[in-house]
Chains A and B, each alone.
Chain A
Amino acid sequence: MEQAIPYPARRWRTFWRNRLAVVGLVALAVVAGACLVALPWSARHYNDQVLEAARRSPGLAPPIGTDILGRPMWARCLFGGIVSLIVGLAAATIAVVVGVTWGALAGMAGARTDAVMMRIVDILYGLPYILLIILIKMAFEDPLQTALGNAQLANVIILFVSIGSVSWLTMARVIRGQTLSLKAQPFMEAARALGVGPAGILVRHLLPNLVGPIIVYATLTVPQAILQESFLSFLGIGIQPPVPSWGNLASEGVTAINNVESFWWLLVFPCGLLSVTLLCLNFVGDGLRDAFDPRTRS
């Protein structure tokens, strides 16, 4: 019965049967949808400072309270969500473009080239990503800032690039492994025997077979990048205020908690949104992996 269903449809069917993954997808859609729908308002109000209304606890007037400078937390959390999600998506995009190219080329080339390219990945893997990110940030942020004339934009772009520059490594490894195993399959040999050139093999025969792992690992890159941004924010080198992100809101929240007087809403709301999103992304990614990754096919 199962055999009548074409391959991709069967894979998707496996995915939709994974209850955790579907719940994750729905919750993710709710959070991202809320951030998107509120964007026109949150973008206008996230930096509204009303010092008399500072540190107001959640209630009716500001729904989930205000921060130290009296800015409405709802706007900051929702706008911060947009920023964090974009960080994640940008990193995933870079991971796909660079990682797939790198991995596929290494796998196709084989021999010496492959060895050298994978050694480079190993070396970057061993480097602490925080250090790499800081160095890239320090080296290129100021020039970019003068070129763009906009400090906030330069900060965000550099953050994308630097997080992206460490996020493609896993993708490259996986894709290279897949390429190697695909290369040994009869249909590839047939294509070569029929005189298809390397470019044709790469685009027509290799890439379509890599779509599964690409989707899986792109999905798993997003939560990682969001988490990395939060660490950077905590160390004071992430998204710079006044622009909020879930990471820098949560790290502000951590400092606002003490045993004398806890401004718990400063931590609970951004951190809650962050955690739920990370969790859902991981569920969706795991579900996709169970359905699409040939290595876990049982």
Chain B
Amino acid sequence: MMHRVASRLLQGLVAVWAIYTVTFVLVIVMPGDPFETEGRRISPAIKQALQQRYGMDSNWHFYVSYMGRMARLDFGESLRYRDWTCNQIIANSLPVSVALGTWALFVALALGVFFGVMGAVHRRTLVDYATLAVAIIGISVPSFVIGASLLIVFGIMLGWAPVGGWGTMSHVWLPGLALSLPFMAYIARLTRLGMLDVLGSDYIRTARAKGLPPNDVVWKHALKNAFLPVLSFLGPAAAAILTGSFVIEKVFNIPGLGTHFVQSVLNKDRMLILGVVVVYSGIIVLFNLLVDIAYGWFDPRIGQEGT
């Protein structure tokens, strides 16, 4: 197990490095000068001084030195927001996105699994069709429309939630719900399919035959196996939830990482682009590692040496 975790961690590091390199190349290819924003011309001498100040006089040098800084978790100074380091910007906005994303993932997982199990156990009943309806909305309506609709109904008409902003617990639940809906729908369908598969298998029949409480059979014995497809969906889902949160953050006016993701590229703020990308992919890699470890726990056949 330790060996497996170590090798996964190494692979993850290589992945982060590869993402850094690809992003770096795209950032360098990008036309326009990071120091000449909005058509403002600056004299060659000043430009050279600026480039020297930010260590950007040679691309190769910048590539290597920035990699070294990042290894020490120092992401440099923002080129656009003077007096701000990338670390400060990220430290201000990342926790917001992560809090929103974690909450959404939790909601999607809890409700998705619950609805999926209920749908499988009570096939062709109201519960089953209700999850199908949510799944249909989840795949066919863009999340910004879902978000805006929820905002109008719960925020403005009913007044159950503040209409955007961030800070208290009451700010979290509505955007979290909007963000989680498509994933909840997908998890519910996955769980339902898996459960239908497992509930027909021999060991479940045995468990029932020897008189185990029906709830235990469903929630302990069957779910543990039916959960595997959901678990392997969680890795990509976490990446998609963090990405999707950019859209939701804009709908609900939440000061998360999303704005910087888009804005740093539009600003040609090289340091911030690279910093944000590396932090983001680091989180994804770590999360995938956790999913991997959890996988070994759910399915003991995996995780042995040589897999």
Contacts and interface: CB of A to CB of B under 8 A. Distances in A.
Contacts of B250: 234-235
A231 B142 CA distance: 7
A230 B277 CA distance: 22
A248 to B, nearest CB: 11
Contacts of B30: 135, 138-139
A49 B190 CA distance: 48
Interface centre among B11, B142, B242, B250 (most CB of A within 10 A): B142
A44 B243 CA distance: 37
A206 interface: no
B265 A127 contact: no
B27 interface: yes
B31 A234 contact: no
Interface stretch (B64-72, B111-119, B166-174, B280-288): B280-288
A234 B261 CA distance: 14
Given A135-B23, A271-B145, A278 B139 contact: yes
A125 B239 contact: yes
A55 B246 CA distance: 29
A139 to B, nearest CB: 4
A213 B144 CA distance: 31
Contact of B142 (A119, A135, A142, A250): A250
Contacts of B139: 223, 278-279, 282
A276 B11 CA distance: 42
Interface string B140-168: 11111100100010001100000000000
Contact of A135 (B141, B143, B265): B265
Given A125-B236, A128-B280, A247 B261 contact: no
Interface in A137-152: 138-140, 142-143
B15 interface: yes
Nearest to B157: A259
A48 interface: no
B55 interface: no
Given A128-B280, A250-B142, A282-B140, A122 B265 contact: no
Contact of B29 (A139, A230, A234, A276): A139
A142 B33 CA distance: 13
Contact of A126 (B31, B145, B148, B288): B288
A257 interface: yes
A123 B19 contact: yes
B239 A128 contact: yes
B15 A126 contact: yes
B128 to A, nearest CB: 15
A237 B262 contact: yes
A280 B284 CA distance: 32
Interface in B243-284: 243-244, 246-247, 250-251, 261-262, 265-266, 268, 273, 277, 280-281, 284
Contact of B243 (A129, A234, A236): A129
Contact of B261 (A128, A136, A140, A143): A128
Interface centre among B32, B244, B262 (most CB of A within 10 A): B262
Given A123-B18, A235-B262, A128 B242 contact: yes
Interface in B65-88: none
A127 B19 contact: yes
Given A126-B15, A234-B142, A235-B247, A131 B261 contact: yes
Contact of A234 (B15, B136, B247): B247
Contact of A130 (B235, B246, B268): B246
Given A122-B15, A134-B262, A127 B148 contact: no
B26 interface: yes
A295 B18 CA distance: 33
Contacts of A138: 26, 30, 265-266, 268
B239 A142 contact: no
B193 to A, nearest CB: 10
A139 B236 CA distance: 26
A247 B142 contact: yes
Contacts of B23: 135
Nearest to B27: A135
Nearest to A138: B30
A54 interface: no
Contacts of B285: 126
Interface centre among B235, B243, B288 (most CB of A within 10 A): B243
A155 interface: no
Given A135-B23, A142-B32, A271-B145, A123 B265 contact: no
Given A123-B19, A125-B236, A128-B243, A234 B265 contact: no
A267 interface: yes
A53 interface: no
B284 A126 contact: yes
Given A126-B284, A127-B281, A275 B140 contact: yes
Nearest to A136: B26
A139 B26 contact: yes
A230 B146 CA distance: 13
Contacts of A122: 15
A94 to B, nearest CB: 18
Question: Which 5 A-B pairs rank lowest in CB-CB distance, beginning with the nearest?
Answer: A128-B243, A279-B140, A135-B26, A275-B140, A278-B140
Interface of A: 119-120, 122-123, 125-131, 134-136, 138-140, 142-143, 223, 227, 230-231, 234-237, 247, 250-251, 254, 257, 259, 267, 271, 274-276, 278-279, 282
5 contacts: A127-B19, A130-B262, A131-B243, A134-B266, A274-B142
